[in-house]
Structure 1
């Protein structure tokens, strides 16, 4: 199995890019990718997302990669952000999302906190592997909002878990059996709030390489006038 990948992140109309992304070969068999989205308006969102990504990678580079160590790496990032909050009042509320995956011959494992997403496209289908930790998603899952009501719910993007929040963050872990020709995407909400799942699936079908996919997504977001930072990691399993 061979994994190829491409990364893109942009500030969009914002003066500061509070998204951070990374992708690396942990060893000959394993590729790791992550995306983090610092909370806008909190102060230091760009620092929080960068700390999350760098701490997460540094932790995993010193240990075996599995669900347990990936969760521990995310918690280490949470504590690193909490420590940084104490360095200045301007950063005392900074926080970030984090979504990450590790792909190997054994399959896909991942961790997730916040509303960044992992999505997999296979043939003519596409599936979300993560659930947003947001007020809107919680109410929808509880049957208190319909799909149409969720689309217009004013607090749908309010996060209920993020690294750096007071207390213990909710960190989900997940697995997925991957196949040859699967296409995996990690996105910040600046992408998936504009390019819907069915549109991403169509772009995957027409994009022969991860570089092509990233370029096509970039074009779609720019044409629709982004309102936020936007980032994507595309991984192709061949």
Structure 2
């Protein structure tokens, strides 16, 4: 009789323990997924942005990374559209095409140097920023990076763009176009700031690609290339 009672008592205790464990797991959100520490969240988000920026700059720094991508192609400066229309009418269409190509080549060249600039900007993420990003929209990390770093990135990026513009000889194709246009009688002379224009467009393209990478990491398990990314974004 005592043995039967002991067996019943033990079984009841085991079931109670099992139920308690399940309740605790559900309360702590641990069912199938380990609890994330603050450090893991921040490290995971920084890693995601690092992976995203490296992938993005790698793709954009290749030949035609901007030029053959319709979403990122840098066109003739919109504020100088009248310049483009006039000089094409004067038979300079090929010069316009070459000029547009060099704008995109400048952005592609600059993208090679952009990764370290972005990575340095990622380091200052706080714990509260991290959890807000983790619970935010699919582009929350990209938006954080854009909001926090655009002004500083532009300052750092402009010399890179200037050097790239010099390397691909943008002005070689721009000067004949603008000089021809400005010689037309009774027109308002134009001369857009090409460095500023290419800098802004190149940065827009980079953020667009980083956003695409972030969404991929959030939604596609295959894109989570490290154990930490799997843990953070699989939770």
Shorter-chain TM-score range: under 0.3
> RCO higher in 1 or 2 (8 Å CA, sep ≥ 6)?
2
**More strand by percentage:** 1
What TM-score does the superposition give when structure 2 sets the normalisation length?
0.24
**More helix by percentage:** 2
